[in-house]
Chain A
Amino acid sequence: MATPNEQTLSKKTRRILFHLVVGLLVATVPLWISRFGLALSTQIMYLGILVMSFTFMASHGGLLSLAQVSFFGIAGYTLGILTVKAGMPLPYPYLLGILMAAVAAAILGLITIRVTAIPFLMMTLAFGEITYGTARHWSSLTNGDNGINDIPDLVLFGASFSAAKEPIRFYYLVLVVFIFCFWLLNKINRSPFGLAHQATKQSATRLEALGYPVFAIKYFAFIISAAYAGIAGLLGSTFEGTINPDSIWFGTIMFMLIAAILGGVNSPVGPLVGVTISIVLEKFIEPLTDHYRIVIGVVFLFSILLARQGIMGFIEKTRLYRRALRVCGLD
């Protein structure tokens, strides 16, 4: 049974229509949502980029990199230190922030990319704890526990993007960055490089035998993922106006991991779904109990035991979802 839609409109038209509707929906968010909701939506998008950087490495049985939060923090700290402490003029700290995250990954990747999944997870977790400890203890550079506050507003083309004073403008900025990152990541995943990257996860030895430089592919992918985490870190610290050890503590690592697994590691929209659900869940449970993390931990536990593919993995199996995809012209 084809729906009337499918008979009357070509696939391409339906796809364009779908994108228009979604675009209209997200573009009009500031009109119909509360100020609190707008702040949440902004947060969801930059954290979505962070989780995307994680699933880029982790999807299809890849490597779980818990160091993404460190890259997030390294970019944020670079921005904070260069703007607040060194007084560098504005566009450059942003570029250097992404660069520093990538450089950190280039150094870490040299040693960690060679090992298998479990040691990799251990090492990146250790790296995360070390970045956190360093952020706390290297106080001459990072201001220790206080962190770096009053990160200046981002000024682009003469317009100021202040999260506090111009939340709507800031929302649009993050939206544009998010859409660009999302689009680019899907583009990368479908490119020859992206396909080779996926193949390294499935059978590295065979790929090696075919003459692909497996190490270089994984290494480069790790650097890309760090750059993504860095972008998220820049947006996050600009949004909060501060970067401090609390932004990169163990809880943030777990937030990223839980959001990724809940949403579904293998689905392109998984990160967005996962972050949205985690944040909404957090905001709902937080007022009820001081110990909402227990609830979140239990939810995570059950999703590991029962629904390894996450919510999107579950939805993707349903008939309704496939039909919806067909109607929207996305199949």
Chain B
Amino acid sequence: MLTYNFFIFLNGITDAARLFIIAIGLTLIFSLMRIVNLAHGVLYLAGGYIGLSVMQYSGSYLLALAAGALGVMIIGFLIERGLLIWVRGQDLPETLLTLALIVIFQDTLLAIWGGYPKSIPKPALLDFSANILGLPYPAMRLFTIVLAVFIGLGLWFLIEKTNIGAAIRAGVDDRETASALGLNIPVIFTFVFCIGAFLAGFAGVIGATLTSLAPGLDSQALLFALVVIIVGGLGSLVGSAFGAVIVGLILNFGRSYLPEFAFLLTFLPMLLIIGFRPQGLFGKR
């Protein structure tokens, strides 16, 4: 029983790692631009599909990962420069615009890649099972944890320790002053949006390897990302990590013990946290 629970726990943590990679791009974009990029879910799915096609052509997993992430980054660049720029600073139109993009992208992805579930084969290097407590466990899932920690630390380093990060933080804290001091805020915005999109595409390829690719999974990814960042606090990196762990654990324990309510249960932390701490666990007032 203990082993059983331990494996559910492990599944929860590896799922949390996946959720964290999905949610982190959303958090990043929100923390600077105050835009909730609701198209994050479809960008995630697009990344997965692009990765799948490149994988089929080239057979290289690394190439697929790069293509998925960079392809979506280019889409993100076009969205930011071509569309969002027209509604800059207006909360609601910005959000609605990203909603409109969901509708367009969902059908575009369906038109190109069809409706049958697909998935990306695991890279040969990670296609084995590790031995945990005498039971086999897919190494790819364990690797996701490493990846999530790596991405989290990388972003933390970028934001806290580099000049670009300092400029981004200045933009978050006081847009006008930063801009008066000669920081090119629009360029920083585009940069951040591109990183967010890059992370969405990256998460898409990883997610497509761990689970699968199918229409509708984009809204699921978006839902979990939303719950993660609401629980963790909008725009907080650490918060997203905690939010992901909470949601990942609840989802997996829910699926094992109360399978019919697993979805409803993920809503519970959101309910409790907003009830008692509206800004989320690590959110700023």
Q: Are A297 and B92 in contact (CB under 8 A)?
A: no
Instruction: Tell me how many residues of B have a C-beta within 8 Å of chain A.
Output: 45
**A220 an interface residue at 8 Å Cβ cutoff?**
no
Within 8 A of B (CB), among A285-308: 290-291, 293-294, 296-298, 300-301, 304-305, 308
Q: Which residues of B contact A96 (CB under 8 A)?
A: none
**B275 an interface residue at 8 Å Cβ cutoff?**
yes
Q: How many angstroms between the C-alpha atoms of A134 and B107 in the bound complex? A: 24
Q: Which residues of A contact B270 (CB under 8 A)?
A: 123, 126
**A125 an interface residue at 8 Å Cβ cutoff?**
yes
**B220 an interface residue at 8 Å Cβ cutoff?**
yes
Stretch of A28-36, A74-82, A113-121, A180-188 on the interface side: A113-121
Expressed in whole angstroms, the minimum distance between the Cβ of A70 and any Cβ of chain B is 11
**B36 an interface residue at 8 Å Cβ cutoff?**
yes
Say which residue of A134, A137, A257, A297 sits within 8 Å of B104 (CB atoms).
A297
**A98 an interface residue at 8 Å Cβ cutoff?**
no
Chain B residue nearest in CB terms to A130: B267
CB 8 Å contact bits of A305-316 with B (1 = contact, 0 = none): 100100000000
Q: With A126-B230, A137-B262 as given contacts, are A121 and B275 in contact (CB-CB < 8 Å)?
A: no
Q: Which residues of B contact A115 (CB under 8 A)?
A: 274, 278
**B103 an interface residue at 8 Å Cβ cutoff?**
yes
Q: Are B263 and A134 in contact (CB under 8 A)?
A: yes
**B264 an interface residue at 8 Å Cβ cutoff?**
yes
**A153 an interface residue at 8 Å Cβ cutoff?**
no
Q: Are B103 and A296 in contact (CB under 8 A)?
A: yes
Q: Are A134 and B261 in contact (CB under 8 A)?
A: yes
Q: Are B274 and A137 in contact (CB under 8 A)?
A: no
Q: Are B97 and A137 in contact (CB under 8 A)?
A: no
Q: Which residues of B contact A133 (CB under 8 A)?
A: 220, 223, 263-264
Instruction: Tell me how many residues of A have a C-beta within 8 Å of chain B.
Output: 43
Q: Are A126 and B260 in contact (CB under 8 A)?
A: no
Q: How many angstroms between the C-alpha atoms of A130 and B270 in the bound complex? A: 12
Q: Which residues of A contact B278 (CB under 8 A)?
A: 114-115
**A324 an interface residue at 8 Å Cβ cutoff?**
no
Chain B residue nearest in CB terms to A255: B103
**B62 an interface residue at 8 Å Cβ cutoff?**
no
Within 8 A of B (CB), among A139-188: 139-141
Q: Which residues of A contact B102 (CB under 8 A)?
A: 250, 254, 297
Q: Are B260 and A138 in contact (CB under 8 A)?
A: yes
**B124 an interface residue at 8 Å Cβ cutoff?**
no
**B219 an interface residue at 8 Å Cβ cutoff?**
yes
Could you show 23 A-B contacts with beta carbons less than 8 Å apart?
A114-B278, A118-B91, A121-B95, A122-B36, A123-B226, A123-B230, A129-B219, A130-B267, A133-B223, A134-B264, A137-B260, A137-B262, A139-B260, A141-B260, A257-B96, A293-B107, A294-B103, A296-B103, A298-B104, A301-B83, A301-B101, A304-B87, A308-B93
Complex A-B, nearest 10 residue pairs according to Cβ-Cβ distance, in ascending order = A297-B103, A133-B263, A297-B104, A129-B223, A301-B100, A293-B107, A138-B260, A300-B100, A111-B274, A294-B107
On B, residues with C-beta under 8 Å from A are 34, 36, 38, 83, 86-87, 91-93, 95-97, 99-104, 106-108, 110-111, 216, 219-220, 222-223, 226-227, 230, 234, 259-264, 266-267, 270-271, 274-275, 278
On A, residues with C-beta under 8 Å from B are 64, 110-112, 114-115, 117-119, 121-123, 125-127, 129-130, 133-134, 136-141, 249-250, 254, 257-258, 261, 290-291, 293-294, 296-298, 300-301, 304-305, 308
Q: A111-B274, A114-B278, A130-B267 are in contact. List 11 more A-B contacts (CB 8 A).
A: A123-B270, A125-B222, A125-B226, A129-B219, A133-B220, A134-B261, A136-B263, A137-B259, A254-B103, A293-B104, A305-B86
